[in-house]
Structures are given as C-alpha cells and as structure tokens.
Amino acid sequence: VIGPEDVRAAAIVLDGIAHRTPVVYSRTLGEHIAIKPESLQRVGAFKFRGAYNKIASLPRGSNVVAFSSGNHAQAVALASQLLGVHATILMPEDAPPNKLAATRGYGAEIVTYDRYTGDREAIAAELAGDRGAELVPPYDDPLVMAGQGTAALELLEDAGVVDTLVVPVGGGGLIGGSATIAKALGVRRVVGVEPAAGNDWQQSFARGERVAIDVPRTIADGLQTHAPGLLTWEVGKALVDEIVTVTDEQIVAAMRFAFERLKLVVEPSGAVGIAAVREGLIEAPSIGIIVSGGNVDAQGFAKLLAST
Amino acid sequence: VIGPEDVRAAAIVLDGIAHRTPVVYSRTLGEHIAIKPESLQRVGAFKFRGAYNKIASLPRGSNVVAFSSGNHAQAVALASQLLGVHATILMPEDAPPNKLAATRGYGAEIVTYDRYTGDREAIAAELAGDRGAELVPPYDDPLVMAGQGTAALELLEDAGVVDTLVVPVGGGGLIGGSATIAKALGVRRVVGVEPAAGNDWQQSFARGERVAIDVPRTIADGLQTHAPGLLTWEVGKALVDEIVTVTDEQIVAAMRFAFERLKLVVEPSGAVGIAAVREGLIEAPSIGIIVSGGNVDAQGFAKLLAST
C-alpha cells in the first residue's frame, strides 16, 4: 500500500509547515523511553500531517470534503486554508460548539447533519459529487497514512535507538504510516494500543481478518472506530506485531501523569501509549511512544480526574 | 554584576545537561509572539539552569545548602546529584509531601524547620557553617542569575527577531540574567511581570530604590518575594524598562489558555507573562515570553479553575 519512501516524501512536503514536535523523556516512566507529543502539533494532533500531505497533492483551486467531529476536521480546515483550497466539513449538528467554531475559524465551510438519522458517508459522497470535490479520508488513504507516519520518522531521527514503537490505534492511519517507516529503519517491534472497550484491532489480529464491533463506549473518543480500515489493515497485519488494550481508568491515570510529570496536556486517545507503558504492558530495552493529540478542554480534564 | 559573556559561559556549562526547551507559537495570542516554556525544563522550571551553573563552579566533593519550599529545592537537589555534590535542603516541615518526596528522590538530605518560629536564613547559614557547605541562593548570585539567563538566550536564538522580552519577576534572577543577554543581543525592551498583590518591583522602580512589602497573597507562589534582591535590583534597575502587574484571575485565565491552546501545563507564576500579553498590557511588533515553570498538580489546577 505504501512504502518508507512515501513517508520520506511526505516529510519533505511537511518540512517547515508541520511543527517538528520535540521528543521528551521522563525518568519516572522509565529509562530509554522517548515520547513524541503530537499534542504540540498544529491543531493539537498528528492529523494535520496526513491532511496536509493529502491536500498538497491536489491541484490548486481544488475543493475538498471531509467528515469528522474531531481533530481531522480542524486538520483538513487548516491544511486547506494554508494551501488555498476550499474545504467543506461535514460535522454532526450537536458537535461541541468550540469544535465547530475552531473549524470555521480556519476558514472551512461547515455542513451539519443529524447523527441519529443521517449517514455521514453517503452525505459526504453526495457533497463531494455536487461540488466536484475530493474526499479527504481521516486514515484510509495512502497519502494520509504516509503523512501521519512522519511523526514516527521524526521520533526515530531524534530519539536514537528505539527497540519498540508504541502507537495509538483507531482507524490505523498513524500506526500504518509509523510501522512502515519504523520497520524500514530497524525498529524491532511495533505495538498498537487501543481502548479495552473497543478492541477491534486486537480481535482482527486474533481472527486474521478485519472484525467489526459496535462503536465502543470509551473516553478515548478519537479511537472509537468500529473496524480497521481496508488499507490500514493491509499495512497493519503485515507490520504491526502486537495490540494491547488499556482501560479508561488507566487512560485517566496516564493523562494525570502527563500533566504532572511531563507538563503536557494529552487527550484520552493520546494517552493510551503512556498508559500501556506505565501499566507494565510493554517492556523493552528502549521504547518510543507517540502521543497523538492534546485536544481536551480544561473543564473536561477536571471532570475526568474527578470521575476516577 | 554580570555581563552577557557570563550568560554565554553558563550556556556552555549547561549544554547537553539542561533541556533546550522548544519555542512555541499561538496565532490566537497574536502574530510574532514566541513562547519559551521552561515548564518543560528538568524539574519543571528554569531554576535548574541557575542551580546547575552555580554548583558546577564548586570543587568536586563540595557540600551545598539551600532553602526553598519550591522549584529551587528540586533544582539544587538534581543539579547536586548530577555533579556528585552532597545537598542539604532546608524545607518547612509543612511543605507539601510530594515536594518533600521529589526533593528527597533526587538524593538530597532534607532538614525541616517550623516556618512560624524558625528563621530559615539563620538556620541555613548555621547549617552551611557546621558542614563547611556553600549556600546556593535562589536568585541573588551572579552565577545563578547567569544560568537563569540562558533561557532568554535560547529563546532569542530560536525565535528570530524579538522587540520586547516579557519575563516573570520574583526575586529577579531570571529577569536579571535575561535582560543582560537580551539587551546585548539588541532586544529593545524588557518588561517584567509580577502579581498585582505583590508589586515590590513596580514600587521599587517608582521609588528608584528597593522597596520591601508584606509577603503578598497570590496564587503565584513562586513570585511571593517581598523585595528585589540586592544584586538582581542592580541589574534590573539598569536594564529592565517596565514592570506590569496581573491579577490572580488573569493568571488563571492564562493557565487555562495555555492548557487549551498551547497544550502546556503552566504553574501560576509561570503564566504571568502570557496573562500580561493576553490582557493587552504589553504591545509590541514582536514579543518573546518566558514561561518559568509548570509545577502545579492536576488537583490544584482543577481547583484553581473552579474558583474563578
């Protein structure tokens, strides 16, 4: 589906546009553990990398459409603004007002739908057809996957030796791109982490084929996918070595750890890798952890802490 | 007292030891505003820079003594551990248990005193005498000030043009070192920010001499000094252009902003520069802001948010 050269090409596209997020360490978490906080990326998540790499490949003056209630919406909106492309984002009409405002703030046109009665994929396809627009998928696309993998490339360039790379798994774009470049660079093992309540990847690995589950109830809203993507599964089954799961309680503990020790704001989905390592689920002589994003508001964070 | 060459010398001492913290930007805060989060420094605050630079100047096998209930305690403890120096830290017996534990965790010996009846400076001087130890002051010392100024040096190296540098002011070590290097590098204006409840520096500037005030009541516990230091005042009055003040409410709003927009955990004292710029108290074509530290626990942060 993609190769390491695609990730390297994406890195060139993103150079000077995406932030090169730092690599941070915490002795408390363990020796030789390098953390890549994509929370400090533009729009607060790695999603910017994939969206920009995809949209940059389109002819100037293109139209794009995306559907997302989360980080992908803002990523497509900002990438489009930077590239002079018109973006239409399909969002649920009950999406949090701050997310609607942020997406609109990047100059995107918002179209809302009723998430209980509407089929967002059908509406998005119709919108794309009407407007002659290209759909920008959140993960199941070679250019999106390659762009997202640049987070791992930077981590490996900056951290030195990494035996095991730990990556959150939702749709599988981040782990697909990351595993592609990591294995090419000599990383021994790539481990995906997903919420225990929604272990579609773990089940898929056990069965050797894509398994669909009900949309999971978890605080990790960015990882509430119900099945691996078609393309990301092809990459994942070839290159990912293991999937481990963490509970919501372990995720909150990891968010608190990130706050107090790393001084970083990490959203629930972003904290799963730290959670897995903190709980001793992954042991290795050296570990790289990708923290996928930091989009949680202060009030929501306080509530999560109080609930556990 | 010190010159830019002292800050440059400190940068060499700290190279590869202190983290080179990143410079981050937020379009929401304004164009051309570069933020240096020393919250991501070792021990979570710029204090590490000064303590290490001072202790590295002592003969190997030295003993040091410091008094602090805050970031300076951990800074001296860690710097001593790294340099193979025995550290004794004088802390109030009612200091937060996590701060006592963290300081002990870096291998320092803790001596506690009763803050209502004991005179910490006298006890520290006696301890230093008994043990043949060198006192490491939190700010009023040329090597400490020069080390602390390396935060500004890095900011100016990484951020490009900075017209106005904004620095929290407590004892004055950070602004003393920072103003020394900044003015040498062509920064036009250096502005200090202190809590409105404890404007000892502002009053000192108004009078043209050091003014002592009652220990202020403010959430910015790192800035609760009651007067400028002797040496830091000499530097400050020569090189600092202006002091502005912010309220506790403005500080909490800045902490929330840092959390939600920058994805960074910032302690109250660390947030004063962001607060001053957010509130429109400082206007300039380009601004550099030093965020001094991030040592606030998650529960304390949640309480501060709820209180405003």
Interface probe, candidates B42, B263, B267, B305, chain A, greatest A C-beta count within 10 A: B263
Q: How much is the pLDDT for B55?
A: 98
pLDDT of residue A100: 87
Task: Report the distance separating Cα A99 and Cα A69, nearest Å.
Answer: 8
A299/B305 Cβ within 8 A: yes
The secondary element (H helix, E strand) that includes residue B87 is: strand B86-92
Does the beta-carbon distance from A301 to B302 stay under 8 Å?
yes
- Residue A41 pLDDT: 97
Q: Which residues does A contribute to its contact with B (CB < 8 Å)?
A: 22, 24, 37, 39-40, 44, 256, 259-260, 263-266, 294, 297-299, 301-302, 305-306
Task: Check if the beta carbon of residue A145 is closer than 8 Å to that of residue A173.
Answer: yes
| Distance of alpha carbon B164 from alpha carbon B109, whole angstroms | 41
This complex has an ipTM of 0.93
* Paired tokens of A71: 């980080």
A107, A168, A216 from A126: Cα distances, Å: 21, 31, 27
Q: Closest Cα partner for B1 from B290, B233, B243, B240?
A: B233
Helix axes A298-306, B298-306, angle to 10 degrees: 120
Closest CA to A298 of B264, B36, B295, B34: B264
Average pLDDT over chain A, rounded to an integer: 94
Q: Over 90: is that where the pLDDT of B93 sits?
A: no
Chain B residues inside the 8 Å CB shell of A298: 256, 259-260, 301, 305
pTM of the complete model:
0.94
10 Å Cβ neighbour count for B154?
Answer: 23
Residue B89: phi and psi, rounded to 5, are -115, 125
pLDDT for residue B101 is more than 90: no
Percent of chain B with pLDDT over 90: 82
3-state helix vs strand vs coil in chain A, percent to 5: 50, 15, 35
Amino acid identity of A104? R
Per-residue pLDDT reduced to its tens digit, A245-289: 999 999 999 999 999 999 999 999 999 999 999 999 999 999 999
Q: B79 with B68: CB under 8 angstroms?
A: no
- Tell me the sheet residues that pair with B92: B113
Residue B240 Cα distances to B2, B150, B180, B223, angstroms: 14, 17, 9, 17
* Residues A169, A170, A176: CA angle, nearest 5 degrees: 55
Q: Between chains, do A40 and B263 touch, taking CB under 8 Å as contact?
A: yes
pLDDT of B305 higher than 80: yes
Average confidence (pLDDT) over A18-39: 94
Q: Say if the Cβ atoms of A263 and B40 lie within 8 Å.
A: yes
Q: Among residues of chain A, what percentage have pLDDT more than 70?
A: 100
In this structure, the number of other CB atoms found within 10 A of the CB of residue B189 comes to 18
Say if strands A24-25 and A33-37 run parallel, antiparallel, or are unpaired: antiparallel
Structure tokens at A31: 């020796």
Give the Cα separation of B65 and B55 in Å (integer). 11
What's the mean pLDDT in A131-148? Answer: 95
The Cα of A200 is separated from the nearest Cα of chain B by a number of Å equal to 29
A263, A265, A302: residue with CB nearest B302 = A302
pLDDT digits (tens, 9 = 90+) for A188-240: 999 999 999 999 999 999 999 999 998 889 999 889 888 999 999 999 999 99
Residue A50 pLDDT more than 80?
yes
Measured between CB atoms, which of A264, A297, A301 is closest to B264? A264
A256 φ, ψ (degrees, to nearest 5): -65, -40
Mean predicted confidence (pLDDT) in B239-258: 98
Does the annotation mark B47 as catalytic?
yes
Residues in chain A with CB shorter than 8 Å from the CB of B256 are 298
The pLDDT score that the predictor gives to residue B232 is 98
Map tokens 């993507």 to a residue: A229
Query: Is the pLDDT confidence value at A32 over 80?
Result: yes
Q: Is B109 exposed, middle or buried (0-12, 13-18, 19+ CB in 10 A)?
A: middle
Structure tokens at A188: 């021994």
Q: Which of A44, A260, A299 sits opposite B263 (nearest CB)?
A: A44
Strand B33-37, strand B24-25: pairing: antiparallel
Q: Report whether pLDDT(B160) > 90.
A: no
> B106-110, B122-126, B277-281 — which is least confidently predicted?
B122-126
Q: Is the pLDDT of residue B271 over 80?
A: yes
Query: What band does A93 get if pLDDT is binned at 50, 70 and 90?
Result: confident
CB pairs under 8 A between A and B: 54
Residue of B173, B207, B191 whose CA lies nearest to B272: B191
Q: Residues B57-80: what's their mean pLDDT?
A: 92
Residue B282 pLDDT exceeds 90: yes
> Is A53 within 8 Å of A147 (Cβ atoms)?
yes
